[in-house]
Amino acid sequence: MSDHGAAERPKVSGINHVTFDVANVEASVEFYRDVLGCELVARWPAGAYLTAGRTWIALVRRGQPPSPATDYSHIAFDVSREQFIGLSERIRASGARVWQENWTEGESLYFEDPTGHRLEIHCTDLVTRLRAVRKEPWEGLVIVDEL
């Protein structure tokens, strides 16, 4: 079957927002705003909206106790190399629990927010990651698309 004249296959175009169910809205707002440097955009008794660069973050309290993932699932935030050390120090000084040591290329800090959601700050990109993994490929790795 030819693709000539066919409509483009529908697909997502990016991340619209990330929502975290939080145990304590005030503590979470303070962490995301004062420790991570996110911008507070709106707040109400059961939640808040912040931005991290162009990413919209929703913090909400929904009634049931939140149950953050305890597996490898996490959200990684961009940070410049120039800002990495200072931000890492501020995160550690906040008392945030570090849940993993970095084992990949590039500077990373893996930590939890006040509710226990797993986060990371990372200062490289996918192109850099692929460049590094080509030098020492993981077993069975196939790079499908050149970026």
- The topology under which CATH files domain 17-63+70-135 is 2,3-Dihydroxybiphenyl 1,2-Dioxygenase; domain 1 (3.10.180)
DSSP 96: P
Q: Where are the beta strands (DSSP E) in the chain?
A: 17-21, 39-44, 47-52, 55-60, 75-78, 98-100, 108-112, 118-122
What are the pLDDT digits (tens) for 16-48? 999 999 999 999 999 999 999 999 999 999 999
Tell how many helices (H) and how many strands (E) occur in the chain: 3, 8
Q: What is the pLDDT of residues 73-92, one digit of tens each?
A: 999 999 999 999 999 999 99
Closest CA to 113 of 43, 33, 54: 33
Average of per-residue pLDDT across 41-59: 97
Q: What global pTM score does this model have? A: 0.86
Active site residue 89: no
Rounded CA-CA distance 51/115 in Å is 19
Nearest-angstrom CA–CA distance, 94 and 30? 10
Q: Are strands 118-122 and 75-78 parallel, antiparallel or unpaired?
A: parallel
| Catalytic-labelled residue, pool 120, 136, 139, 146 | 120
Look up residue 64 and give its DSSP letter: S
Check pLDDT > 90 for residue 94: yes
